[in-house]
Amino acid sequence: MSNFVEPFSELGLSIQNTYAQLPDIFMTKMDPIPVKDPKVEIINYELAKELGLEFENIDRDALAQIFSGNKLPKNSTPLAQAYAGHQFGHFTMLGDGRALMMCEHLTPKNEIIDIQFKGSGRTPYSRGADGRAALGPMLREYLMSEALHHLGIPTTRSLAVVSTGEKILREVPMNGAILTRVASSHIRVGTFQYAAARNDKDALKKLLDYSVKRHFPEIKNETDNVLLFLRSVMEKQIDLIVNWMRVGFIHGVMNTDNSTISGETIDYGPCAFMNSYDINTVYSSIDLQGRYSYGNQPNIIHWNILRLAESLIGLIDEDEKKAVSIIEKKISDISSQISSKWLNMMLQKIGIEIAEPEDEQLVHDLLKWMQENKADFNNTFCYLMEHNHIKDKVFETDSFKLWKNNWTLRVKKEKNYLDKMKRVNPIFIPRNHLVENALDEADKGKIDKFNSLIKVINNPYSFQSKYEEYYLTPEIDETNYQTFCGT
């Protein structure tokens, strides 16, 4: 169906089309809408290598044609996925309104991954919007997803950003762009909700079997694999959110269509890293109730997993009441799992491996102190790791010294606690003011700051004194800092 372009023969793609075999209701097969004048803004050569792709010998114009979707490989079946989702608690039928999966690719590790274009034009799911994306937000997704990856947090990744040579209309005209996103799949809680909402039990069962085979093959032959699937997703998602909490990451739009079955972070719209610790931090301009605030993320993942559970009821038992009771039993420990994984993570942040009864109080006292003193979240842990270059007066206060004395006595009982802390507490996170500045410049054609920031976030756990501007506590009032969805 698509144009064949020479470079694909050298690209190393091992094309698969497994999702395309699912029932038709899950997708619309179509090509991307070509763009005028694509130009490569950034290519992730390191990721390409990991995936077994070869770009080095392909010139940038050809790469621009490929990563804009203007030219497609011969055997690909591009498609937009259909799904539903609770957006800020309200259920809606959705779908890829501005994305198309170009193809799946079999990696050298024998894993199937999706290669998807974001910003590739209108689809039947665009709901009146233009199907396009702007350069700044696509570079932002590139940067933030790479940051999470290097922080050791499961995430979709970014292979390329090309500008399109076209303007898109927002409040002001903006430079258009397309991001190439790589994911272990794009199946969401909302994909299951979609099949359930259509009362299509056959499609729901096929989606389940497909998801199990792709993500949890170890449970494929188990008789209760619906329940095991639910539990596996629950565990992966709890681990993910606990990891976000560890580094002060606020996703910003945890709608059920943005919660994956794979447990990867997806959809980098209004996300940001918190500076000063405040459990209620919200940056998203549209999150007026604080539904997706930093501290509410564990509650929301609980809520989202319950929505996944509901969508599976039809596969458990004809008798709805019985099905609900079976499901409830299977995930009855969800709250306690969230709390204990969170506590464990916080203990690791302060160097404690095997908890003692008083340790929980030590964690809560520290968080209370941080909240009251507006201490920088990441740098508080850096300071405890003896990075005394973090010259922040807040650590000279009596209240902090008091806590630190108690903590010092406690960690004396731990072996190599500093080494352990260094593995979980980053020195470098993409600080909001640096991100905004780098994106502003990149949008004007100056990509240097963006590239420098990428370099720094690629190695977040090792201290390098020359990167002072990236690790110092910013002297910026972020009370009015705002981020935006879907621009």
Contacts with ligand AMP by CB under 6 A lie at: 94-99, 125-126, 129-132, 253, 257-258, 267, 269, 485-486
Residue 94 binds which entry of Mg ion, ligand AMP, none, with Cβ cut-offs from 5 to 8 Å by kind?
ligand AMP
Closest to ligand AMP by CB, 35 vs 382, is: 35
Residue 197 to residue 204: CA distance in whole angstroms: 10
Closest to Mg ion by CB, 260 vs 275, is: 260
Task: Quote the tokens at residue 231.
Answer: 């539990």
Shortest reach from residue 196's CB to Mg ion, in Å: 19
Shortest reach from residue 36's CB to ligand AMP, in Å: 18
Residue 131 binds which entry of Mg ion, ligand AMP, none, with Cβ cut-offs from 5 to 8 Å by kind?
ligand AMP
Shortest reach from residue 135's CB to ligand AMP, in Å: 13
Shortest reach from residue 267's CB to Mg ion, in Å: 4
Closest to Mg ion by CB, 258 vs 379, is: 258
- Counted residue by residue, the chain has a size of 487
Instruction: Count CA within 13 A, CB hemisphere, residue 37.
Output: 4
Site string for Mg ion, 263-282 (x = CB under 5 A): ----x---------------
The residue of the chain with the least Cβ separation from Mg ion equals 267
Residue 480 to residue 87: CA distance in whole angstroms: 24
Residue 269 binds which entry of Mg ion, ligand AMP, none, with Cβ cut-offs from 5 to 8 Å by kind?
ligand AMP
CA 15 centroid distance within chain: 25
What is 103-121 written as a DSSP string? EEEE-TTS-EEEEEEES--
Task: Quote the tokens at residue 20.
Answer: 């395309």
Site string for Mg ion, 245-264 (x = CB under 5 A): -------------x------
- Residue 293 near Mg ion by CB under 5 A: no
257 is catalytic: yes
Catalytic residue among 31, 96, 114, 257: 257
* CB neighbourhood size of 404 (10 A): 15
Q: Quote the DSSP letter at residue 316.
A: T
Residue 281 to residue 265: CA distance in whole angstroms: 19
How many amino acids of this chain bind Mg ion (CB under 5 A)?
2
Closest to ligand AMP by CB, 1 vs 129, is: 129
Bridge-partner residues for 86, per DSSP? 91
Residue 262 to residue 252: CA distance in whole angstroms: 19
Residue 106 burial class via C-beta count within 10 angstroms: exposed 0-12, middle 13-18, buried 19 and up? middle
Q: Are 247 and 431 in contact (CB under 8 A)?
A: no
* CB neighbourhood size of 337 (10 A): 17
- Residue 114 near Mg ion by CB under 5 A: no
Closest to Mg ion by CB, 225 vs 265, is: 265
Residue 132 binds which entry of ligand AMP, Mg ion, none, with Cβ cut-offs from 5 to 8 Å by kind?
ligand AMP
Active centre residues (catalytic): 257
